[in-house]
């Protein structure tokens, strides 16, 4: 995919000239590597954030600004696996296409279940990030894009996949089998999160869909709770000692 085509595709649907202008250092697809990390789909006890459940529409794309939170104590280099991502599908099924960042290892990744996470590029703590997934009608494939806005570093590719089109997800996830969320887990914001229907109209999380506010609960009583949506539909996932 050429840089010109990539920029035109992002600009066409999102109007984000600020993102396009920062698409400078493109990471080659050949540098991708598969990791042994995995962000699975059992959302009931692993996901904290928001889900848009479609009513009459289907998801054609979604995106959001976020940032990397690795200013943590005791979990960045080992379990639990913590990641923040946007995705299409995966609610009660394994048809999930997602892109985001691992807060443990500090890499941007994508995942198409049942595959494992695929590393894209390193991201620094505190950097601004942008994630984008959309259907490309000219190729009949899904276009996946991740950018470290701070470093002007990005990676993109197209994948043949069939996600479940009934949900759009903006999530902070903690690996199952871990009963506590460490004290060092820092807030993760999702700014201007939007999803696009098949007529290319864009919507907030709570527009033309049912917005589900997912609270990640663990047996220890610790949880990740998303704030209410603000005027732009943005929210922040916070860690609390009690739900």
List residues bridging with 110 in a β-sheet: 99, 118
Q: What percent of the chain has pLDDT over 70?
A: 77
* Residue that wins the pLDDT comparison between 44 and 104: 104
* Residue that wins the pLDDT comparison between 69 and 10: 10
Cβ density class 53-89: b for 16+ within 10 Å, e for less? ebeebebbbbbbbbbbbbebeebbeeebbbbbbbbbb
By C-alpha distance, which of 169, 167, 127 is closest to 150? 127
pLDDT value for 72: 47
Q: Is the pLDDT of residue 201 over 80?
A: yes
By C-alpha distance, which of 146, 122, 123 is closest to 134? 146
Contact in structure between 57 and 209 (CB atoms under 8 Å): yes
pLDDT value for 136: 94
Most confident residue range from 24-33, 83-92, 115-124: 83-92
Alpha-carbon span 88 to 33, nearest angstrom: 22
Pick the CATH number of 3-240 from 2.70.98.40, 2.60.120.700, 1.10.599.10, 2.30.30.90: 2.60.120.700
Give the DSSP letter of residue 29: G
Return the structure tokens found at 92. 């009660």
Return the structure tokens found at 124. 């620094």
pLDDT value for 115: 84
pLDDT band (50, 70, 90) for residue 241: low
pLDDT value for 183: 47
pLDDT value for 137: 92
Mean per-residue pLDDT for 30-47?
A: 51
Q: Are strands 188-196 and 202-203 parallel, antiparallel or unpaired?
A: antiparallel
pLDDT value for 125: 79
pLDDT value for 228: 92
> Which range, of 27-36, 108-117, 188-197, 216-225, averages the lowest pLDDT?
27-36
Mean per-residue pLDDT for 98-104?
A: 85
pLDDT value for 186: 67
> Which range, of 91-105, 157-171, 183-197, 216-230, averages the lowest pLDDT?
216-230
pLDDT band (50, 70, 90) for residue 221: low
Please report the DSSP string for 93-139 in residue order: SS--EEEEEETTT-EEEEEETTSPPEEEEE--TT-EEEEEEEEETTT
Tell me how far CA of residue 202 lies from CA of 16, 63, 100, 213, in angstroms. 13, 10, 20, 20
Question: What is the rounded average pLDDT for all residues in the chain?
Answer: 80
Contact in structure between 208 and 57 (CB atoms under 8 Å): yes
Mean per-residue pLDDT for 231-242?
A: 82
Give the DSSP letter of residue 78: S
pLDDT value for 95: 92
Mean per-residue pLDDT for 34-39?
A: 48
């Amino acid at each position: 995919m050429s840089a010109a085509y990539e920029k035109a595709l992002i600009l066409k649907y999102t109007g984000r000239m600020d993102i396009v202008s920062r698409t400078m250092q493109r990471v080659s697809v050949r540098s991708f590597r598969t990791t042994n990390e995995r962000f699975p789909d059992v959302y009931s006890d692993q996901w904290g954030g928001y889900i848009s459940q479609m009513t009459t529409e289907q998801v054609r794309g979604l995106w959001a600004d976020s940032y990397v939170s690795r200013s943590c104590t005791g979990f960045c280099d080992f379990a639990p696996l913590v990641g923040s991502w946007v995705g299409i599908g995966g609610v009660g099924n394994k048809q999930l296409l997602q892109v985001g960042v691992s807060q443990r290892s500090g890499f941007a990744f994508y995942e198409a279940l049942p595959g494992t996470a695929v590393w894209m590029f390193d991201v620094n703590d505190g950097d601004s990030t942008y994630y984008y997934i959309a259907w490309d009608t000219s190729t009949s494939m899904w276009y996946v894009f991740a950018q470290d806005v701070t470093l002007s570093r990005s990676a993109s590719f197209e994948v043949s996949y069939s996600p479940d089109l009934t949900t759009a997800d903006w999530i902070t996830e903690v690996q199952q089998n871990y009963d506590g969320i460490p004290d060092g887990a820092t807030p993760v914001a999702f700014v201007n999160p939007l999803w696009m229907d098949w007529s290319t109209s864009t919507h907030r999380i709570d527009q033309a869909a049912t917005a589900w506010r997912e609270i990640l609960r663990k047996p220890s009583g610790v949880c990740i709770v998303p704030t209410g949506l603000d005027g732009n539909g943005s929210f922040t996932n916070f860690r609390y000692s009690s739900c």
